[in-house]
Amino acid sequence: MTISRPEVTGFFHEPTCSIAYLVVDPATARAAIIDPVLDFDECAGRVSTHSADAMLHEVDRRGLVVDWILDSHPHADHFSAAAYLKERLGAPTAIGEHVVEVQKLWKDFYNLPDFPADGSQWDRLFADGDMFRIGNLEARVMFSPGHTLASITYLIGDTAFVHDTLFQPDFGTARADFPGGNAAMLYRSIRAILALPDETRLFTGHDYMPGGRPLAYESTVAEQKRANIHLKDDPDEATFVARRQARDRTLPMPRLILQALQVNMRGGRLPEPEDNGRAYLKIPLGLL
């Protein structure tokens, strides 16, 4: 059986080393957008749409119709542009159903008793194994927790979008020390991804270009099994967890985590303006 091969264009967001994706069915010119980014100037407290508009320009240039705007998880280092793109394109938004657990956790952290932690900020909440289509492309959802409680992988044709579970082989695997993260769950999620066919193309959510090498965000299952610096000696779960936890203890928290989560738990929407017409982000002191 021939497996469909989507066309994939990555959009690199230099301030956060994030990659958003435009995924296209070449047979129908239907598309999906995965993990789009809003720009945020933390010094000025200013949000802008330059990066998301670059994706809109490409959609328009190619005459594409966007079927889905997809978040892989609530990001801790940048703001999601899903809500903005929905306003511009009219396409439905989606994320994994376990986002409600993230919402409940961070609702308490931000002291937002009236916040609806029910996932209603997206049009669809995907469960593990759910299927959907992008034009003629068949897509499947894999629940991939560990980096966060809600992380999912999108398997589209011969391609998997593995968000922050795996990075390029020379950088390894995702951290698992955010609230709700779990290194053992991360290990199992990675094993499920590496059980896909060796030729499966893998696209990751970040690239930090270790050693100054050029930007790269595509690999294969075979390359990850052979060369990933955290996996190439085929560690068992206990060994991986010990290594992952030791490394995580050396890492600073992402610079924007406290700002980003309160936007991303809202599906990329900013907090509502207060009675003076200004919107505010809350910073819970001493939380992390």
Q: What would the DSSP string read from start to end of 254-279?
A: PTTHHHHHHHHTTTSPPPPP-TTS--
Place of tokens 């994030």: 18
* pLDDT tens-place string over residues 139-182: 999 999 999 999 999 999 999 999 999 999 999 999 999 999 99
Tokens found for residue 141: 């959802």
What mean pLDDT do residues 173-202 have?
Answer: 97
Between CA 206 and CA 18 the distance in angstroms is 4
Q: For 41, phi and psi rounded to 5 degrees?
A: -95, 100
What mean pLDDT do residues 98-124 have?
Answer: 97
CA 266 to chain centre: 15
> Please, which residues bridge with residue 157 across strands?
none
Yes or no: say if 241 and 235 are a contact pair by the CB < 8 Å rule.
no
Share of the chain above pLDDT 70, in %: 99
**What is the structure's pLDDT at 64?**
98
Q: What is the average pLDDT score of the chain? A: 97
Q: How confident is the model at residue 3 (pLDDT cuts 50, 70, 90)?
A: confident
What mean pLDDT do residues 87-95 have?
Answer: 98
Residue 239 DSSP symbol: H
What mean pLDDT do residues 10-14 have?
Answer: 98
Q: What would the DSSP string read from start to end of 109-166?
A: HTT-TT---SSTTSSEEEPTT-EEEETTEEEEEEE--SSSSS-EEEEETTEEE-TTTB
Yes or no: say if 71 and 82 are a contact pair by the CB < 8 Å rule.
yes
Yes or no: say if 64 and 56 are a contact pair by the CB < 8 Å rule.
no
pTM confidence score: 0.96
Tokens found for residue 99: 């986002």
What mean pLDDT do residues 30-52 have?
Answer: 97
Place of tokens 């308490």: 108
Fold that domain 7-263 belongs to in CATH: Metallo-beta-lactamase; Chain A (3.60.15)
What mean pLDDT do residues 215-231 have?
Answer: 98
Residue 1, pLDDT > 60, answer: no
Q: What angle do CA 19, 179, 244 make, to 5 degrees?
A: 70
* pLDDT tens-place string over residues 61-73: 999 999 999 999 9
Between CA 259 and CA 15 the distance in angstroms is 15
Closest CA to 152 of 137, 138, 163, 139: 163
**What is the structure's pLDDT at 2?**
61
* pLDDT tens-place string over residues 235-248: 999 999 999 999 99
Between CA 215 and CA 17 the distance in angstroms is 9
Q: Residue ranges of the domains in the chain?
A: 7-263
Catalogue the E-assigned strands of the chain. 7-13, 18-25, 30-34, 37-41, 46-48, 65-70, 79-80, 93-96, 124-126, 131-134, 137-143, 152-156, 159-161, 201-203, 218-220
Q: How confident is the model at residue 98 (pLDDT cuts 50, 70, 90)?
A: very high
SS3 state of residue 96: strand
Closest CA to 20 of 87, 95, 93, 72: 72
Between CA 174 and CA 154 the distance in angstroms is 17
